[in-house]
């Protein structure tokens, strides 16, 4: 029997493939809730990416299926404000890649409420599982996707299904993300269907696992890092954009302070000089705690390269469903 869902999601490959899988299984979506304007966009960029990758963006999915996309207000503290009639006739709530915490009175409006989490729970609960897995070099152990029952607490609900997607040596971030997205879509088509029909039951999480918070400045390269730490972190990110943080003491040039995307540590000049950082067209020269270094900046052609890499990765996983 087809079901009707409310979907809370932010734009991205995992959410896009989850929504597409739900619709492809003959179900309906009454509305998509997202804080991002990109979720409401069906402009030429969304059309181009959809055509090139073979996966519709969230905005294109909503546009073609006639699904309204709305945003919910937030309190000054950043908490989502849910209307009393949030379900509005839908029997299922699906959340994917959203930071919203669903209160009990909202969960009670749905017969089923599930979440897609990009890590193998109970490990790496919380809002930054993928970044945490990369930074901790644990993506080979706990990289994966978990489909679980939503509870008012964060990522603690019983597990419906899990698919390991380890980050293996030589694998790019984009292949890893595409593999997770394909796994999430497959679970929606199969395990979620079986769970909702009563053929399968959810299993309570066992063990304490871990909760991963984002420490201030943790995922940025700053003057407090060593050169080896910077190199190691950039390598671990496998193509995920790393930011260089120049805020602090005065900096040379018209671009005072700020954060800049970088792609690699280009060279070590020598010992720290205490001289101002220098922002050039293609490089950033700065002091780290143990060395004066030059980083290569991420430029427009790198963004185009990453866009192509993501398209290729998505196409590859579409052609290889048996590899999950």
- For residue 229, give its domain range: 220-302
pLDDT score for 46: 95
Q: Are residues 201 and 237 in the same domain?
A: no
Instruction: Show Cβ contacts of residue 117 under 8 Å, excluding neighbours closer than 6 positions.
Output: 125, 129, 145, 146, 147, 148, 155
Same domain, 123 and 168: yes
118: DSSP letter: S
Q: Is 247 helix (H, G, I), strand (E, B) or coil?
A: coil
Q: What is the pLDDT of residues 42-63, one digit of tens each?
A: 999 999 999 999 999 999 999 9
| Radius of gyration over every alpha carbon of the chain, rounded to an integer in angstroms | 21
CATH of residue 23: 3.40.50.170
Residue 1: its pLDDT value, please? Answer: 80
Give the mean pLDDT per block of 10 residues along the chain (324 residues). 94 96 96 93 94 95 95 85 91 94 94 97 95 92 97 95 95 94 96 95 93 84 93 88 75 58 95 92 94 95 92 89 46
User: Are both 52 and 94 inside the same structural domain?
Assistant: yes
CA distances in angstroms from 15 to 61, 90, 107, 154, 197, listed in the order given: 11, 19, 20, 18, 23
Residue 257 has what pLDDT?
60
SS3 content of the chain, % helix, strand, coil (to 5): 35, 25, 45
Class of residue 153 by CB neighbours under 10 A (exposed 0-12, middle 13-18, buried 19+): exposed
User: Cβ contacts of residue 93 below 8 Å, gap of 6+?
Assistant: 5, 6, 7, 8, 87, 102, 106, 107, 109, 110, 112, 113, 114, 150
Q: Of 310, 306, 242, 240, nearest to 17 (Cα)?
A: 310
Neighbours of 169 (CB within 10 A): 5
Whether residue 313 lies inside any domain: the answer is no
Task: Looking at the structure, tell me whether residues 137 and 240 fall in a common domain.
Answer: no
pLDDT at 78 (0 to 100):
76
Q: How far apart are CA 96 and CA 9, in angstroms?
A: 5
Interaxial angle between packed helices 58-65 and 13-24, expressed in degrees from 0 to 180 and rounded to the nearest 10: 30
Instruction: Please tell me the distance from the alpha carbon of residue 186 to that of residue 209, in angstroms, as a whole number.
Output: 25
Whether residue 263 is contained in a domain is answered as yes
Instruction: Give the chain's domain count.
Output: 2
Write out the two tokens for 90: 């839908």
- In this prediction, residue 14 carries a pLDDT of 96
Instruction: Look at the chain and count its residues.
Output: 324
Q: Are 250 and 181 in the same domain?
A: no
- Assess whether 270 and 196 both reside in one domain: no
> 177 and 39 in one domain?
yes
128 within some domain = yes
Q: Measure the CA–CA gap between 132 and 62, rounded to whole angstroms.
A: 31
DSSP H helices in the chain: 13-24, 44-53, 58-65, 104-107, 129-135, 139-142, 173-189, 191-197, 227-237, 300-319
In a shared domain, residues 136 and 241: no
Which pLDDT does position 322 carry in this prediction? 42
Does 321 reside within a domain? no
Compute CA distances 248 → 13, 284, 286, whole Å: 35, 15, 12
CB-CB contact of 38 with 76 (8 Å): no
Instruction: State the DSSP H helix or E strand holding residue 278, giving kind and residue range, or none if neither.
Output: strand 278-279
């Amino acid at each position: 029997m087809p079901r009707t869902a409310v979907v809370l999601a932010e734009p991205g490959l995992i959410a896009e493939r989850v929504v597409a899988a739900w619709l492809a299984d003959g179900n309906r979506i009454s509305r998509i809730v997202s804080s991002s304007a990109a979720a409401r966009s069906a402009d030429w960029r969304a059309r181009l990416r959809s055509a090139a990758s073979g996966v519709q963006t969230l905005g294109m999915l909503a546009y073609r299926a006639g699904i309204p996309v709305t945003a919910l207000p937030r309190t000054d503290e950043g908490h989502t404000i849910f209307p009393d009639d949030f379900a509005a006739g839908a029997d299922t709530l699906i959340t994917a890649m959203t930071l919203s915490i669903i209160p009990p009175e909202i969960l009670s409006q749905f017969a089923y409420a599930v979440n897609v989490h990009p890590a193998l729970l109970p490990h790496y609960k919380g809002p930054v599982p993928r970044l945490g897995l990369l930074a901790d070099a644990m993506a080979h152990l706990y990289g994966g996707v978990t489909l679980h029952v939503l509870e008012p607490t964060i990522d603690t609900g019983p597990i419906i299904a899990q698919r390991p997607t380890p980050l293996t040596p030589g694998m790019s971030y984009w292949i890893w993300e595409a593999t997770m997205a394909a796994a999430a879509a497959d679970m929606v088509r199969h395990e979620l269907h079986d769970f909702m029909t009563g053929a399968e039951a959810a299993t309570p999480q066992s063990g304490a696992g871990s909760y991963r918070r984002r420490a201030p400045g943790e995922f940025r390269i700053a003057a407090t890092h060593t050169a080896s730490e910077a190199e190691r972190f950039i390598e671990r990110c496998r193509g995920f954009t790393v930011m260089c943080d120049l805020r602090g003491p005065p900096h040379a040039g018209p671009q005072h302070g700020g954060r800049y995307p970088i792609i690699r540590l280009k060279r070590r000049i020598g010992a720290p000089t205490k001289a101002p950082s220098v922002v050039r067209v293609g490089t950033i020269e700065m002091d780290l705690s143990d060395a004066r270094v030059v980083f290569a900046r991420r430029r427009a052609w790198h963004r185009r390269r990453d866009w192509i890499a993501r398209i290729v990765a998505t196409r590859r996983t579409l052609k290889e469903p048996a590899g999950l």
